[in-house]
Structure 1
Amino acid sequence: MYYLQDQTMDAIARELRTSRSTVSRLLSTARDSGLVQIQIKTPSDRAPELERAIRKRYRVEVHVVPVSDMLGEVEVLERVSMQAARTIGPLVDSNAVIGVAWGSTVSTVSRHLTRKTTHGSTIVQLNGAGNTQTSGITYASEIVRRFGTAYGAKVEQFPVPAFFDHAETKNMMWQERSVRRILDLQDRMTIAIFGVGSMDAEIPSHVYSGGYLDSTDLDALEASGVAGDVATVFFRSDGSDDGIVLNSRSSGPDLESLRKVRRRICVVSGAKKITGLRGALAAGLVTDLILDESTARELVELSSPSNDPIFGFLNGLDGL
């Protein structure tokens, strides 16, 4: 009545035979719960243009969050996370199996989720969080708990190391029935939610700053040309992951398994994650992308024909 029929609060109160303050409170609840979302379209807003370009180039659903260049990385992350939380809510249905990867970005998203009642849904942790310094349970469980609370869903943790010392140990652990149950649940995922890890981001990805990788691991990743990771599984800027040894020790889902999930929601904040984001897009890991305007602008510029080496090569042949 208020948003679609343009009725005043006084008119609504009379029709519903209630007070104006009750109508005001109901409208506030509708906004807080995500039932109503308000967007402002300004003449200078480049977000729709950027969204069209990214959608056309990468074949993904995309939400570009307008932000001022004056904002710091933390403020940008907060705004992107708020938009991500609003985007995720309508996509969550009853009987869903939602995989959640821990990390700095997803942790911030989890704090902005609005409540939505579902039935028979499950939140499952995508990758282990333990390392030589901590079990990681407190950090990872808080993230999945927030998702579970928001959607009234059952929560399944994955209490294994983020990286095993030996691939053989992981292979043996993967045969255990208690672990197999979580892996089977991950295989039934309908939605996966994750950020993109990067060593160069101003807000460091938790996998790089939380003691999960030693200097030998980091050197190996650099030697393999790694651009980033999703759920502690690494890939290069062209989307390839063959020969990256650390992946055989990772507890995260392999990229082929992740690609089978129907809805794969990636949240990115900060232009320094651009290389990792391009790798994730090249690997086909993303169906829905939420990112800030600066990162979107750089992604579009890097993806333009003038920056495409194949395009440049063909142009050269035309010139001959």
Structure 2
Amino acid sequence: MSDPEHARLLVDVSRDYYLDGSSKVDIAQRYGVSRFQVARLLAEARDSGIVRIEITPPAHLDGERSRRLADALGAEQVVVVPSGSDAEGTRTSVAHALARVLAERAPAGTTIGISWSRTVEAAVHHLGTLPPCDVVQLVGALPVSGAGDSLGLTQTFRSMSGVRTWPVWSPLLVGDPSTAAGMRRQTEIAAALDRADSLDLAVVAVGAWTDTGSTVYPQVTGDERRAAAAGGAIAECSGRLFDAAGRRVVTPLDARVVGVTLDQLVRTPEVVAVGYGAQAGAGLRAAVLGGVATVLVCDEAAALEMEHLLEAPSA
């Protein structure tokens, strides 16, 4: 067979296989060769440049893009999943991804701190189980309509074989500072909050400091909101507020919170922060800037917002 004829055969076999979807067996019969020869012809077509294969994953599966975003933020890892058609669909996608990240980063013997959000709660249900480890409840309970709370989540971990739990038997927000201080001194609560000083891994949620972005925001007083606004608060994590640079914003709210502090999270070697929606983007970025988070799990909308903030002249 002459070179032009062989080249034509390479083109025809490649077109039949890659464009028309013919099987190697059908192509072999068509050209009077064996299917092993077809495989060799297809390999030759790729090696010679007759066939060029380009794989372009969607943005949420673009590993290189996620790595670029992580590098730009200074995060260890950023995991981006597709945004759903509604909040519930997005939360489900993000929760599945969070469950995978938690399973990968929680070997036996780990001490894990778990905050609460609807996404974290859903992720734990997708998780199934953990190897023997300690799970520390990082915040008191904040019941939300249609969802559970941190105490219920801790009970889920308690049912796992080999998992020890450190509960916080308190609401997240207590009515006044003196009552909150008393709750923090209770033996079991103090043990859990002290245990938060020696975590290997923490899982927290970051929400925008708005009435729709945070489950804590609707529970605070007008004075606390005004103090938060004056301090430049843009996001909330476990009832603690911070600004666009990740700096802690101290308000009267802090004295009413029974839960982990931002300083404790900053001292934790690995902190996985989860959030979704465009309004969560600024808070997730700030959590990394302030050293609160080392790993982000988010949706496409939040990732796009972080990219826009990074591209902005003032970023």
User: What TM-score results when the alignment is normalised by the length of structure 1?
Assistant: 0.71
The 5 A counterparts of 1:79-90 are 79-90=93-104
Are 1:103 and 2:108 matched, yes or no? no
Does the 8 Å contact 2:202/2:268 carry over to 1? yes
Does the 8 Å contact 1:77/1:270 carry over to 2? no
The correspondence for 2:149, drawn from 139, 151, 172, is 139
Counterpart of 1:85, as a letter, is A
Does the 8 Å contact 1:201/1:270 carry over to 2? no
Identity between Structure 1 and Structure 2 (%) = 23
The correspondence for 2:314, drawn from 295, 306, 309, is 309
Relative to structure 1, the CA distance from residue 244 to residue 278 in structure 2 (aligned partners, 3 Å threshold; closer, same or farther) is farther
Deviation of 1:219 (Å): 3.4
Deviation of 1:58 (Å): 2.0
Partners in 2 of 1:74 and 1:197 — Cα distance? 16
Does the 8 Å contact 1:268/1:291 carry over to 2? yes
Does the 8 Å contact 1:99/1:125 carry over to 2? yes
What stretches of structure 1 move > 6 A for 4+ residues in a row?
none
Deviation of 1:73 (Å): 2.0
Are 1:43 and 2:56 matched, yes or no? yes
Helix, strand or coil: the match of 1:65? strand
Counterpart of 2:101, as a letter, is T
Deviation of 1:72 (Å): 1.7
Does the 8 Å contact 2:70/2:76 carry over to 1? yes
Aligned residue in 2 for 1:161: 171
Partners in 1 of 2:122 and 2:70 — Cα distance? 25
Does the 8 Å contact 1:64/1:293 carry over to 2? no
Partners in 1 of 2:152 and 2:101 — Cα distance? 21
Which has the higher mean CA deviation after the structures are superposed, 152-161 or 262-271? 152-161
User: What TM-score results when the alignment is normalised by the length of structure 2?
Assistant: 0.72
Aligned residue in 1 for 2:80: 65
Aligned residue in 1 for 2:44: none
Aligned residue in 2 for 1:27: none
The 5 A counterparts of 1:104-119 are 104-116=118-130, 118-119=131-132
Does the 8 Å contact 1:201/1:272 carry over to 2? no
Does the 8 Å contact 1:199/1:228 carry over to 2? yes
Aligned residue in 2 for 1:227: 234
Relative to structure 1, the CA distance from residue 97 to residue 49 in structure 2 (aligned partners, 3 Å threshold; closer, same or farther) is same
Aligned residue in 1 for 2:224: 217
Deviation digits for residues 84-127 of structure 1, max 9, x if unmatched? 101110211222221111112212212211334x23x1212101
Aligned residues: 259
Aligned residue in 2 for 1:205: 214
Helix, strand or coil: the match of 2:129? coil
Deviation of 1:180 (Å): 2.2
The 5 A counterparts of 1:114-193 are 114-116=128-130, 118-119=131-132, 121-129=133-141, 139-149=149-159, 152-193=162-203
Helix, strand or coil: the match of 1:234? strand
Q: State which structure, 1 or 2, has the greater radius of gyration over its C-alpha atoms.
A: 2
Partners in 1 of 2:190 and 2:154 — Cα distance? 19
Deviation of 1:145 (Å): 2.8
Does the 8 Å contact 2:233/2:243 carry over to 1? yes
Partners in 1 of 2:198 and 2:155 — Cα distance? 20
Helix, strand or coil: the match of 1:252? coil
Partners in 1 of 2:55 and 2:91 — Cα distance? 22
Relative to structure 1, the CA distance from residue 263 to residue 217 in structure 2 (aligned partners, 3 Å threshold; closer, same or farther) is same
Aligned residue in 2 for 1:288: 295
Structure 1: gaps spanning 5 or more residues: 1-40, 311-320
Counterpart of 2:122, as a letter, is T
Compare relative contact order (CA 8 Å, sep 6+) and give the higher one, 1 or 2.
Answer: 1
